[in-house]
Amino acid sequence: MKIRKNLSLSVVCLMLIQLCALNSRAQQNEPAKPVFKDGEAQIVKAFEDPAYWIREDLWVETEFDSDGDGLSDRMHVDVTRPRQTESEGLKLPVVYNSSPYFAGTAGNNPEFFWDVHHELGEQPKHHVHPPEVQRRGERPVISKGHVDTWVPRGYIVVHSSSPGTGLSDGSPTVGGDNESLAPKAVIDWLCGRAKGYKTRRGNEEVEAYWSTGKVGMTGTSYNGTLPLAAATTGVEGLEAIIPVAPNTSYYHYYRSYGLVRSPGGYLGEDVDVLFDFIHSGDLDKRAYAREHVRDTEMKNGQDRVTGDYNDFWAGRDYLNDMEPMKAALLMSHGFNDWNVMPEHSYRIYEAAKAKGIPAQIYYHQNGHGGPPPISMMNRWFTRYLFGIENGVENDARAWIVREDDEREKPTPYKDYPNPDASPVKFYLTGGAPKKGGLVTEQPSKQAAEALVDNYSFSAEALAQAEITEHRLIFVSPELKEDLHISGEAKITIKAASSKPAVNLSVYLVSLPWNNSQWRKPKITDNLITRGWADLQNYKSLRESEPLKPGKFYEMTFELQPDDQVIKAGQQIGLLIFSSDRDFTLRPKPGTELTVDLNGTSIEIPVVGGTEAYNKAIR
Where in the sequence numbering do the catalytic residues fall? 221, 337, 368
Residue 320 CB-half CA count within 13 A? 14
The amino acid sitting at 220 is T
Residue 259 CB-half CA count within 13 A? 26
CA atoms of 180 and 336, how far apart (whole Å): 28
* CA-to-CA separations, 285 to 163, 279, 405, 591, 593, in angstroms, rounded: 11, 10, 49, 46, 49
Residue 393 CB-half CA count within 13 A? 12
Name the 3-class secondary structure at 604.
Answer: strand
Residue closest to 312 by CA, chosen among 257, 272, 267, 350: 272
The DSSP secondary structure of 9-50, one letter per residue, reads: HHHHHHHHHHHHHHHHHHHHHSPP---EETTEEPP-HHHH-G
CA atoms of 579 and 574, how far apart (whole Å): 16
- Give 331's strand partners: 361
Asked if residues 67 and 176 have their Cβ atoms less than 8 Å apart, the reply is no
**Exposure string over 422-443, b if 16+ CB within 10 A, otherwise e:** bbbebbbbbebbebbbbeeeee
| E strands in 149-307 | 156-161, 196-197, 205-206, 211-220, 238-244, 255-256, 259-260
Q: How many residues does the chain have?
A: 618
CA atoms of 585 and 583, how far apart (whole Å): 7
Asked if residues 330 and 362 have their Cβ atoms less than 8 Å apart, the reply is yes
Q: Is the dihedral of CA 251, 255, 256, 259 positive or negative?
A: negative
Alpha helix (H) ranges present in 210-364?
Answer: 222-231, 250-254, 271-278, 283-289, 299-301, 311-314, 343-354
Q: To 5 degrees, how large is the angle CA 240–CA 241–CA 247? A: 155
